[in-house]
């Protein structure tokens, strides 16, 4: 139906364009919706009301403001590293979005070790943050950068271990396979809603959410930024456009992790199978064995092409649900101290996630 033959370079340019759309549009949406409005209502105030109807253009005004500001480099800063670090942080965000599938054919890259790749590139941002902390030649930045390094490394582990449970259950590292495993899954023979892994992997889901909160350095794990202690942590010295890049990196990464969480635990871009039976034209193409047709490493090839349009919307809804939790927690809780944070990671989260993996493995063999 949408069969358009494109040259390789055309496809690459389109994908690049869509990568920017997939990173920036959801980031703007969540910032406007949650950071400006929802939080304001939580704190019994109105939030931005002047720019555009109901303050909806506030973000445009903010971006304009930042773009105009002077790009200040501290006199004693290591200039190259200082200037490069926001791009390194943003790089990890863009690498993360590559593996997220938004539909049967709507993905940037579909490779066998998708989730492994995502977990690996999510730690690239640590390097950027360390660079920023060190190169700023500010003591607050240095403390913030070192705190961030310790924290992100500690929470990488529970994040990976939480995902392992899903991987065991789906039997694949490929995110498209994980989506299809949830779509085709059955709960004791009842397949009307598939089997979203949030039901079977609830412990893993909770650990994933907590670890993501720490990866994103959001309250209660925001000690690398800690306004009341370190002014702004590793971002203290940044201004203007480079600060904007950090800002985009922070909020876009929250969305990408929410996309990943939706893919791993909430069924990804697919909708519950019983809805597909009701709505005409969504019936999947089946192969000889009665399973959804798979083709060239893409296990979702048999799904209706309409999902390339529906999928991104479904993903956006699920992402908004997950980011809601992120911001809700962020503006409610006080923050931990770093040693408490490390204790929490090593003594609570990692043992629980290991037990979760063991239990998942046993049950996988039994059923």
Residues near another protein (CB under 8 A): 42-45, 75-76, 137, 139-140, 142-143, 219-220, 222-223, 226-231, 331-340
Cβ 339 to another protein shortest distance, Å? 8
Cβ 68 to another protein shortest distance, Å? 24
Cβ 35 to another protein shortest distance, Å? 12
Cβ 224 to another protein shortest distance, Å? 12
Cβ 354 to another protein shortest distance, Å? 23
Nearer to another protein, 43 or 68 (CB): 43
CA angle 256, 262, 264 (to 5 degrees): 105
Cβ 117 to another protein shortest distance, Å? 33
Nearer to another protein, 147 or 318 (CB): 147
Nearer to another protein, 134 or 257 (CB): 134
Nearer to another protein, 62 or 229 (CB): 229
Report yes or no: 159 and 349 within 8 Å, Cβ to Cβ.
Answer: no
> Is the sign of the CA dihedral 13, 19, 22, 23 positive or negative?
negative
Report yes or no: 59 and 121 within 8 Å, Cβ to Cβ.
Answer: no
Nearer to another protein, 44 or 68 (CB): 44
Cβ 240 to another protein shortest distance, Å? 20
3-class SS of residue 144: helix
Distance CA(183)–CA(281), nearest Å, equals 17
Report yes or no: 284 and 292 within 8 Å, Cβ to Cβ.
Answer: yes
For 266-292, the DSSP string reads S-TT---HHHHHHSTT-PPPB-TTSSB
Rg of the chain over CA atoms, in angstroms? 21
Nearer to another protein, 41 or 202 (CB): 41
Distance CA(285)–CA(63), nearest Å, equals 45
Distance CA(363)–CA(356), nearest Å, equals 10
Q: How many helices (H) and strands (E) does the chain have?
A: 16, 0
Q: What residues have CB less than 8 Å from 170, skipping those under 6 apart? A: 177, 178, 181, 182, 197
- Residue with tokens 């923050």, as numbered in its chain: 335
Distance CA(265)–CA(175), nearest Å, equals 11
Nearer to another protein, 139 or 364 (CB): 139
Query: What are the tokens at 195?
Result: 């089997």
Nearer to another protein, 337 or 347 (CB): 337
Cβ 214 to another protein shortest distance, Å? 13
């Amino acid at each position: 139906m949408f069969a358009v033959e494109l040259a390789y370079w055309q496809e690459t340019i389109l994908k690049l364009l869509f990568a920017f759309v997939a990173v920036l549009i959801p980031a703007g949406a969540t910032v406007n919706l949650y950071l400006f409005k929802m939080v304001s209502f939580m704190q019994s105030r109105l939030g931005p009301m002047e720019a555009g109807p109901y303050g909806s253009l506030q973000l445009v005004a903010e971006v304009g403001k930042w773009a105009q500001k002077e790009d200040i480099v501290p006199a004693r800063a290591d200039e190259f590293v200082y200037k490069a670090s926001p791009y390194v942080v943003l790089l990890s965000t863009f690498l993360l979005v590559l593996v997220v599938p938004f539909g049967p054919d709507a993905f940037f890259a579909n490779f066998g070790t998708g989730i492994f790749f995502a977990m690996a590139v999510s730690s690239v941002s640590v390097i950027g943050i360390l660079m920023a902390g060190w190169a700023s030649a500010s003591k607050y930045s240095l403390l913030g950068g070192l705190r961030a390094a310790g924290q992100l490394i500690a929470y990488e582990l529970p994040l990976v271990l939480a995902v392992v449970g899903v991987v065991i259950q789906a039997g694949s590292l490929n995110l498209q396979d994980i989506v299809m495993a949830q779509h085709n899954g059955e709960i004791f023979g009842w397949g009307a809603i598939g089997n979203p892994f949030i039901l079977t992997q609830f412990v893993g889901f909770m650990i994933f959410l907590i670890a993501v909160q720490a990866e994103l350095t959001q309250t209660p794990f925001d000690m690398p930024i800690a306004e009341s202690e370190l002014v702004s942590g590793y971002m203290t010295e940044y201004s203007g456009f480079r600060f904007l890049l950090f800002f985009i990196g922070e909020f876009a990464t929250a969305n990408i992790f929410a996309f990943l969480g939706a893919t791993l635990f909430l069924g990804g871009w697919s909708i519950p199978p019983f809805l597909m039976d009701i709505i005409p034209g969504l019936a999947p193409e089946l192969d000889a064995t009665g399973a959804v047709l798979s083709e060239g490493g893409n296990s979702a090839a048999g799904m209706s092409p309409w999902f390339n349009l529906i999928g991104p919307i479904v993903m956006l809804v699920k992402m908004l649900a997950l980011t809601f939790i992120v911001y809700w927690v962020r503006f409610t809780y006080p923050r931990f101290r770093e040693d408490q944070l490390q204790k929490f990671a090593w003594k609570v989260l990692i043992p629980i996630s290991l037990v979760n993996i063991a239990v998942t493995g046993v049950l996988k063999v039994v059923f």
